Chains A and B, each alone.
Chain A
Amino acid sequence: MIEIKNLNKAFGDRKVVNDVSFVFETGKTNLVIGESGSGKTTILKMMVGLHVPDSGDVEYDGRSFTHSSEKEKQEVRKEIGMLFQGGALFDSLTIEQNVAFPLDMFTEMSSEEKTERVNFCLQKVNLEGRNKLYPAELSGGMKKRAALARAIANNPKYLFCDEPNSGLDPKTSLVIDALIKDVTLEFGMTTVVITHDMNSVMEIGQNILFLYKGNMWWQGNNKEILTTDNQEILDFVYASEFLKQLKPRK
């Protein structure tokens, strides 16, 4: 479980995150949604320590992260897997080496054990047989899947996904969503997904935090979001004329 408590962040005079608190539950896909500029990525970066909050705290299973020493943060980070928006695979390494990277760094596995684990992770994301390819040789969807394989390689307790479907077609997006949901359930992780993709919300939105202009505006799940009366959420969910026509009537 990850808990954020009263997080605040401003860049200069611009307040980006305003007193946001939320509990991200273990074994569930927890989504942070909202319009562009609503503070989603800033919250994610504060949760993993890439940004320092102006005030508030992030707790990983009761362990304070924000106010811990750099050494303690490093220990928590070893339990984190992250899927970046662009994949962030290491260009100079093959897919196999990318997935093996956290294992090389933090485990004493033999090379056979590492190969076995890498193949298991690549098979999990349907990339078996692509071990020797370089990131530049992969499509956008394959890069995301390879990055997901790397994120889960070291059995993380916490998985973060920043806009996992951006730049992908709807069909590939569904594959990525299904993979995220599967690995969360299978490995009992606490998964946090930052997205503004409504397909993802409906597919994997088990616990949703809706942000509006940096404020915590609503929380619920993918069923409740369709029936809420909150105008900002309705504007977000039914953004297009086409979707407005599909809106269920009470």
Chain B
Amino acid sequence: MKLFYHTGKYFLLLKRVFGKPEKISVYYKQILHEIDSLGIGSLGLIAIISVFMGGVITIQSAYNFTSPFIPLYAVGLGTRESIVLEFSPTIISLILAGKVGSNIASEIGTMRISEQIDALEIMGINSAGYLILPKIAAAMFINPFLIVISMFLGVLGGYVMGVATGACTSYEYIFGIQSFFVPFNIYYSLTKTIVFAFIITSVAGYQGYYTSGGALEVGKASTRSVVYNSILILIMNLVITQIMLVG
């Protein structure tokens, strides 16, 4: 029954979040601020993880392709497909659910327990809209860029590590990443990214907004945000994949 209660409460919050903004210019500034805070602020972490994971995927692919019937350019092809289809949109989103999601939940939760949200309400401001909408809009806008950068760096990391370790030659890798390219996969990947960005920010916003108590509850809200975000991302990953690649 708790599941239904929270689902209902979440959608009621979303109704408030998408209410008419008091002043568009203030929200616009907030969105730009959140793009910088949530998006640009995560770029370093995403870059490091993507380069290393790309390298590891390449080495593991080469390690597993032992049959003489499999050409070595398949290493580049496998790396590209793994990164574009799953690693960048899903794993990076799971990492963002940890970094950005816990950040949002703790920020809004602290504002709740220190009466800052009450202050907004008493001023006549739709606090849910003011606090959560710019984060949702910013993440849905900036995350696809982050994921495209992640794809590029992942493939680049694979190239560097593949050539450096002798897993494949430069020619084979480049030939591999250019082979059998399906543009729809990018569309599928970015669609997942946008859905995950919405989930990360709205679920974290929900957890933070309804925090009550003190520092302990803020910590719990932050943890809950990461847990629920991760589960929802995995479920939606399955649903979107079924709909877009199979159905």
Contacts and interface: CB of A to CB of B under 8 A. Distances in A.
A90 B125 CA distance: 14
A88 B124 contact: no
A56 interface: no
Interface in A54-88: 74-78, 80, 82, 84-86, 88
A86 B114 contact: yes
Nearest to B116: A88
Given A105-B23, A105-B26, A106-B22, A86 B115 contact: yes
Contact of A104 (B26, B121, B122, B124): B26
A78 B23 CA distance: 14
B123 interface: yes
B118 interface: yes
A82 B119 CA distance: 7
B22 A88 contact: no
Contact of B124 (A74, A84, A89): A74
Range of interface residues on A (Cβ < 8 Å):
20 to 34
A169 interface: no
B124 A78 contact: yes
B124 A75 contact: yes
A75 B110 CA distance: 27
A74 B110 CA distance: 24
Nearest to B16: A70
Nearest to A162: B115
Contact of A84 (B22, B26, B118, B125): B118
A81 B131 CA distance: 20
A106 B115 contact: no
A206 B119 CA distance: 26
Nearest to B130: A105
B133 to A, nearest CB: 14
A188 interface: no
Contacts of B122: 48-50, 77, 80, 82, 160
A160 to B, nearest CB: 8
A102 interface: yes
A62 B211 CA distance: 35
A74 B26 CA distance: 18
Interface in A154-185: 160
A104 B119 contact: no
A91 interface: yes
Nearest to B119: A88
A104 B119 CA distance: 15
B116 A90 contact: yes
A48 B120 CA distance: 12
B124 A106 contact: yes
B123 A88 contact: no
A82 B116 CA distance: 11
A160 B115 CA distance: 14
A35 to B, nearest CB: 22
A105 B130 CA distance: 11
B123 A77 contact: yes
Nearest to B123: A102
B26 A88 contact: no
B114 to A, nearest CB: 6
B23 A88 contact: no
A41 B232 CA distance: 39
Given A105-B23, A105-B26, A106-B22, A88 B125 contact: no
Given A77-B122, A88-B114, A91-B110, 5 more contacts: A82-B122, A85-B115, A88-B119, A101-B123, A106-B124
Across the A-B interface, the 9 shortest Cβ-Cβ residue pairs: A77-B124, A88-B115, A88-B119, A78-B124, A74-B124, A82-B122, A84-B115, A88-B116, A48-B122
